Structure 1
Amino acid sequence: MPQEKIAVRKLVEFVLKKGSIDNRTVSLHTAQEGAAIHRKLQKQATEPEYQKEVALSYEAVIEKDHLLVEGRADGLFRAEEDWVIDEIKTSEVPFESLTEETLALYFAQAMVYAYIYAKEAHVSQMRIRLSYYQTTEKKLTQQTKTYQLDELTNFFEQLVKEYHRWLVFKRTWRKHRNKSIKELTFPHGSFRPGQRALSAVVYKTMKAKRTLFCEAPTGTGKTMATLFPTLKSLGEEEEDHLFYLTAKTITRQVAEDAMEHLRQAGLKSKSVTLTAKEKICFLDKQTCNPVDCRFANGYYDRLNEALWDSLHHEDTFTREVIERYAQKHEICPFEFSLDISLWCDVIIGDYNYAFDPNVYLRRFFDESNDQNLVLIDEAHNLVQRSKEMFTAAIDSASFEQILNNSTNDVKLKKTTTKLINELDTIAQYLHDTGKKEHYQKAKSDTIDNLLLHWTGQVKEQLAKQANQSTDEQLLETYFAALRYLKISELYDHHFETAVIVSDTDTIKVTLVCLDPAPLLEMRLKQTQGAALFSASFQPLDYYQTVLGGDEESMRFRTQSPFQEKQQHVMIQAGIETVYRKRDQTLPHLTEALATFVQPRVGNYLIFFSSYAYLQQSLTAFRQAYPTIQVMVQEENMSEEDRSHFLTAFQAAPTKTLVGFCVLGGVFSEGIDLKGTRLIGTAIVGVGLPQMNQKQERLRLYFEDQEKDGFDYAYRLPGMNKVIQAGGRVIRDEKDYGVILLIDSRYRQPAYRQLLPQHWQPASIRYDNQSIKKDLRQFWASVDNIL
């Protein structure tokens, strides 16, 4: 039998971890900080010949299966006649507040090291010293226990025996999976135009363990064209997991559907779709602690039973399946989905599970030897999303509220007051200089130190109040502070600090990520292969730059699978849509929109750069054309409202329906209105972000990097939204439709050259009568085809 490997810590935690989920005890320090504390304590050890980071391994044989258990003991030294394993742990929680389950887990890990060393050294007795360092008080507590070899042997043998059934399950499933992948053929019989070429380049990328940036127009069948070859590579290379990451729920559903098609074609694969905690939580509020949530209480006591049950009965872990088993075993559905993911071949979820420094899946991406392949769908969205992931803020109002409402803890009140005073000092400086905003290329070490002290005290208080409900405002501010500190650790010249004082004198300090590319690159290099793809990756070199590509990254662009006769693209270049000209050009714009929708009865979408511009145009349109039915995208629409909006766009309508929407909003990408459910899209403007301090700072940053600052901060993000909105029209080979771009700036080659190749050549017109003539000719040609 081939040898399986497992880390000591993973083995112990998987088999023996008990107790509850409690988000109040989140560790503040990073792995690097923990390692630094370990090194400090190891250096301070007074024992003669103290050995640190001792590599230990042992091959256990269970019923002909070989399991290599390996790890590094923090310390090893001789005390009198015994060898001692030193197990170092660090946390903000006082030693006396640690739960019995936590202490038992600490000693269990050290017992494995003690057993391995006892076997190597042929000794009959070992000692274990737990060295626990409380970081906030800088207090070291040590506890020592003595174990006989037979006691350690019984413990270890029982541990690996319990794990053995999971090992057999994993090996058996992997064998079935790989066999099915080897025999799997493309599920749709034939490839669409461009789909085979895309599949081939994705396969080569994964085999070469590189990163691919790919533009594939709508209709290429990107989901299947990337999933199929990556699964092939997964089976051949014995990789563990395939991540399919998206920005929106609707594209996760497309990935689920593709997996189902592959299963129908013979694939044996377990997949899980990760749903955001706030959506899948069984409670109204995410109070993730054993006091406030029965699904968190005793979670780890019931977890393995739930895993065994579900893994033997299900292959597809959708939200509904996760919720069903979570209810059955009375465990948290969100954490259960994360734990089941370790046993799944395909993991479908949001970008943040791989990239967000606060919520990424450490169980996958903190291990350098993990074999993960990553597909990133609609990757143009990752540009803005990643900036948000690596940005964090704190504000004075939150701390003032805590001071007014909170606890009698004197130390916490004192530190909270110091924090508020520091923020007030900054606010006073801005006031004295007549400013409301301040930007600098450095963070505040004073704020960092105060926050570190404050969060440590909060965690200590939460540990002392483990049997009580927690103040929501305190917990919310605590997590915001943790996020701020996490981002502060990453702070370098790709960041800047923004300080803004509101009209109510609240001061907000934000660590702004201007360029997440180096952080994205680091994560991409941790994978065994990655493909980032989108229908709007124009120009490719821009996206390769801002999304962490390097000189070894691969690039590929497919042709549109649709025929030129299916779509007609027009530019109305005679209307200025810039803010100062909108009142003047509104009548001309209103006429252009009516001209666009009147030649043929059908469903249309019109996109505007802002809600204000939408409302202005909507009012004028309704007054001028009251008989044309309209639907309007409202701000902050619920999922039910969105569904109602889209349902109105029915196939083969007898009356024209026009949807007024916001460019870059929920209806400008990710929706799939096939056939006659949508026959035309008009886009008013070029999508430029509003000019403000935020965008100007971004422009200046990229100019300092010798890039085109205006392109990077304004033009390219704006035109991406235009392309996405236009991509709603032609969804398959039976669709016919029109796209109208309205803005005088399209006269400039700098904008037109960013339009997709399959939109070329676009007809440039300067009057509405020419637009009407073009439309009549196009629809007449369509009628001749149909």
Structure 2
Amino acid sequence: MRGSDYLKYFPKSSCYPNQEDAMKRIHSAIFNQEVILFEGACGTGKTLSALAPALQAGEVLDKTVFIATNVHQQMVQFIDEARQIKQIHDIKVVVFKGKKSMCPLQLGYDECEAKRENTFELIDIENDTKLKRAEMKAAMDNYKKSSDAVYVELRDQLDVELKKLQDRAHALRDRCCNELYEVLRLDNEKFNEWLFETVRDPDEVNQYAYENGMCGYELLKKELKSADLVIGNFHHLLDGDIFATMLRWLEKEADDIIIILDEAHNIESAARSHSSITLTEHTIERALSELEANSMDEAFQGLDIEDIDGVISILLDVLKETYNSRFRFGEKERVGENWYDIRISDPFDRGDIVKARFLRNAKEAGYGEKKDIQRLLGMASDIGAALDEKYREQYKEGKSGILKRSHIWHVAEFLSFYIEHSDGQEHYPILNVRRDNRNEVYGRLELFTCIPQNVTAPLFRSVHSAILMSATLKPFDMIKTTLGIERDTCELSYGLTFPPERRLTIAAAVQPQFARSRDEPGNLEDVFGVMKDSIENSPGNVVVFFQSSFEARRYCKLLEEALDIPIFLDEVGVSAQEVRQEFFRVGEQGGKAVLLTYLWGTLSEGVDFRDSRCRVAIILGVGYPALTDRMHAVESAYDHEFGFGMGWEYAVQIPTIRKIRQAMGRVVRSPTDYGVRVLLDGRFLTDSQRRWPKYSVFGFFPEEEKPEFVDVEPAKVKYSLLNFFQDIEDLQ
């Protein structure tokens, strides 16, 4: 095998600098079963650099390549680049989305599974029916030949069995999935050919399924095993149950999968959301009602139903008492429809007051120590599991129009885990409150995961190889530590290789944008002056990344009064995609507009502001995330796990610098592109370590990026832009 055989999967006529080196090293690392940590500047072709060698290795090793992201725009790019590869080398690609977005009936997972079981049973009955009819015909043929009465008796017996099958089929027809039935009933060779003649996106598959009365999700499931490349999202890999199901459909083991994770700097936060768990007050109330409704069930006689009821009632009382007692004056009235956090544990010292009160009250009520309560919860979990099965059968048999789930089981499982883990460093307990549709406040217990290695470490241990790629992945040691990557790694880092004269990075010497000083008149004047000058002296579109949506709204009013060009505001309740497209349209038609967004929003990464779509990107402030109890708990957990002082760096500082670098990378996306990045905060200055030693962030940028920073006084920023764009015009 030639080392460059992977180039048959590379659809471009030439490589960007470093692409060839990246492909060669990735190819070798995959065969060595390593985890590849791949940082490459925005717009330098990381996706193809990973896909080409991965697909070739998959072909040789009989592995399936699974590429995933959590950014919609990146999935669109994956589809486009897979289509380019398809044009030069035949590969079979499945673009997989979640069941909810593809189910024609919009059913939940459990309802779908119940209907699925009924549908399979109906198909089996119909097959048995055909056999019975064939046997009846054979019996009658034999009777005609021999006149032996035994064949008449056999026919009558078969007729009775046939009627039972027909009655059962009649009962099932209204409780099965007709769309799945069509998938199972028909030969899907036609769909296979249609699917793999190009790279189909989920909308195309759904349209095909709709026109043929089928379920697109079920159609794709059947074809997964044929795919060389699967395009999906983080959810498919980070949720252990879903990943195991995907492997079953692929007919593969985890070791048969090569995974590529784009925007990999987001893996930790995505994994954290997968491993955090919650329990609402309403669920506890429903569990108590469920216990009462089933207290006389013969199956549960002899079990400590009353004690289980008592323990769960104590939890409900403690929950209500805690949030009502911790409301400050006027705070309850400010609770709205969004979850609002109430502290029940210090994020640094820990010590959960809900757990302490619950165990104390349970002991005083005579339910014993923690081990006794855990025994009752184990019993409650068994009751809930039995009820789950009962509800499932009722739904399958048509005795219930909806598939119920046992609230007892959910409460028991949550509380059992909560009691064991709420005081540890890996999880942080929070009490949330919000208003329901009756305008009444109710609570929810949440066990927030601080370090989600329980999700990420098993994944990276199990797959054949993994490629984690991002424009902002460094420092690699941090990624390995926080994600629990213990196997051998191949570490690749490539800076921006586009012509340096076609980009400019300005650090404007305004005051640091601290909350206490950002509204001072002199500071406001400097910041607004630089922003206005940058916009007026840009030959095209400008995007401004603020520290918060509040700041974006405030400056929107100021800019609308000062400028006579379109101003677009990225705000909650308005489609970010529509705003982005309209902004792009102005630039692509030769005009100029301004887009105001915020650093932690959806437009700071994964969006391609290439060429005339944007010429200047402004980052106002360092943009640290809100330092909530959750963030402090993560910081504390990192300090505890990795050494004091690492918490702030791992939880806050480095993720923020990554966000800033992502925002900077929205412009200058190709060798012919050009643009300016303006960093509006004194902490970005190259000499900020001298001027503000405690707060400087310049030192956290990669060494290869630091030389590009140019310190400029506020009044001179406009001249820097004028000179830069004039030089670009002279180069054209």
TM norm. shorter chain > 0.5 = yes
User: Does residue 500 of the first structure (1) align with residue 394 of the second (2)?
Assistant: no
Alignment of 1:377 onto 2:283: no
Give secondary structure in 2 for the equivalent of 1:681. strand
Give CA deviations for 1:294-348 in whole Å, capped at 9, x if unaligned: 8835736743745443224431342134324533554432343333212211110
Q: Residue type matched to 1:755 in 2?
A: F
AA aligned to 1:495 is: E
- TM-score, normalised to structure 1's length? 0.69
Task: Choose from 251, 262, 271 the match for 2:93.
Answer: 271
2:512–2:681 CA contact under 8 A, matched in 1? yes
The letter for the 2-side match of 1:199 is M
Q: Give the CA RMSD over aligned residues.
A: 3.7
Contact kept? 1:610, 1:662, Cα under 8 Å: yes
Q: Quote the residue 1:27 is aligned against.
A: none
8 A Cα contact 1:358 1:483, kept in partner: no
Counterpart contact for 1:246–1:376, Cα < 8 Å: yes
Of the three residues 714, 719, 724, the one matched with 1:778 is 724
Q: Secondary structure at the match of 1:204?
A: helix
Q: Give the drift of 1:458.
A: 4.0
Residues 696-720 of structure 1 show CA distances to partners (whole Å, capped at 9, x for unaligned) of 1111111112051111121111111
- 1:31 corresponding residue in structure 2: none
> Residues 619 and 515 from structure 1, CA distance in 2 versus in 1: closer, same or farther, beyond 3 angstroms?
same
Number of aligned residue pairs: give it.
603
Aligned to 1:650: 587
Could you say what secondary structure the match of 1:184 adopts?
helix
1-structure distance, mates of 2:666, 2:236: 28
> Structure 1 residues 293, 364: closer, same or farther in 2, change over 3 A?
farther
Deviations 1:634-680 (A, max 9, x none): 214337634544444432523x3110001121211111132112101
CA contact (8 A) 2:276 2:449 kept: yes
- In structure 1, the residue matched to 2:220 is 337
Could you say what secondary structure the match of 2:38 adopts?
Answer: strand
Indicate the SS of the match to 2:429.
strand
**What is the Cα deviation at residue 358 of structure 1?**
4.3
User: Is residue 521 from structure 1 mapped to residue 406 from structure 2 by the alignment?
Assistant: no
| Structure 2 counterpart of 1:419 | 312
Tell me which moved more, 704-713 or 434-443: 434-443
Match of 1:208 among 24, 32, 39: 32
- CA deviations over 1:226-277 (Å, ceiling 9, x no partner): 10001111122222x1101111222112112222111211x22211011233
Letter in 2 for 1:303: L
Structure 2 letter corresponding to 1:509: L
Q: Show structure 2 runs of 5+ residues with no match.
A: 116-171, 298-304, 329-341, 356-369, 435-439, 690-695
Q: Does structure 1 conserve the Cα–Cα contact (< 8 Å) formed by 2:614 and 2:667?
A: yes
Matched, 1:589 2:535: no
Deviation per CA, 1:154-204: give whole Å up to 9, x if none: xxxxxxxxxxxxxxxxxxxxxxxx9x9789263212211111111112101
Query: Which residue of the other structure, out of 229, 243, 246, is the alignment partner of 2:69?
Result: 246
Give the match for residue 394 of structure 2: 464
* Equivalent AA in structure 2 for residue 540 of structure 1: F
- Of 621, 644, 652 in structure 2, the residue corresponding to residue 685 of structure 1 is 621
**Aligned partner of 1:360: which letter?**
F
Question: How far apart are 1:210 and its partner, in Å?
Answer: 1.1
Question: Which of 67, 75, 81 is equivalent to 1:258?
Answer: 81
1:540-585: per-residue Cα shift (whole Å, max 9, x none)?
Answer: 2222222332262221101323111111001123233222223213
Q: Deviations over 1:449-505 (max 9, x none)?
A: 446644542442242243155558x65979976995998799695632413153766
The residue aligned with 1:641 is 578
- Residues 290 and 408 of structure 2 are in contact (CA less than 8 Å); yes or no, is this contact kept in structure 1? no
Matched letter for residue 701 of structure 2:
L
Q: How many percent of aligned residue pairs carry the same amino acid?
A: 18
CA contact (8 A) 2:102 2:215 kept: no
The 2-side partners of 1:485 and 1:359 are apart by: 24
Q: Partners in 2 of 1:373 and 1:488 — Cα distance?
A: 35
Q: Is the 8 A contact 2:599 2:660 kept in 1?
A: yes
Shift of 1:769: 1.1
Q: Residue 237 of structure 1 aligns with which residue?
A: 61
Aligned to 1:665: 601
Q: Which residue is 1:356 aligned to?
A: 239
Q: Tell me: CA distance 1:476–1:382, structure 2 relative to 1, closer, same or farther (3 Å).
A: farther
Residue identity in the other structure for 2:84? H
Give the partner amino acid of 1:422. L
Match status 1:735 vs 2:659: no
TM-score of the superposition, structure 2-length normalised? 0.74
Bigger mean CA offset, 443-452 vs 455-464: 443-452
Contact 2:384–2:406 (Cα < 8 Å) also in 1: no
SS at match of 2:512: coil
- Secondary structure at the aligned position of 2:446 is classed as strand
Instruction: Quote the residue 1:578 is aligned against.
Output: 514
SS of alignment partner, residue 84 of structure 2? helix
Greater relative CO (CA pairs within 8 A, separation 6+): 2
Alignment of 1:396-407 (within 5 A): 396-400=281-285
CA distance in 2, matches of 1:352, 1:489: 27
What one-letter code is carried by the residue in structure 1 that aligns with 2:543?
L
Richer in helix (by share):
2
**Structure 1 residue corresponding to 2:18, chosen from 189, 194, 200:** 194
> Are 1:617 and 2:555 counterparts?
yes
Measured at CA, do residues 386 and 489 of structure 1 come closer, stay the same or move farther in structure 2, by a change above 3 Å? Answer: farther
Distance change (3 Å), C-alpha of 1:430 and 1:598: closer
Quick check: 1:437 aligned with 2:343? yes
AA paired with 2:565?
I
Structure 1 pair 448/380, CA: closer, same or farther in 2 (3 Å)?
farther
- Structure 1 alignment gaps of length 5 or more: 1-177
Q: Are the equivalent residues in 1 in contact too, given 2:383–2:409 (CA < 8 A)?
A: no
User: In the TM superposition, what is the alpha-carbon distance from 1:510 to its structure 2 partner?
Assistant: 1.6
1:417 offset after TM fit, Å? 8.3
Point out the structure with the larger strand share: 1
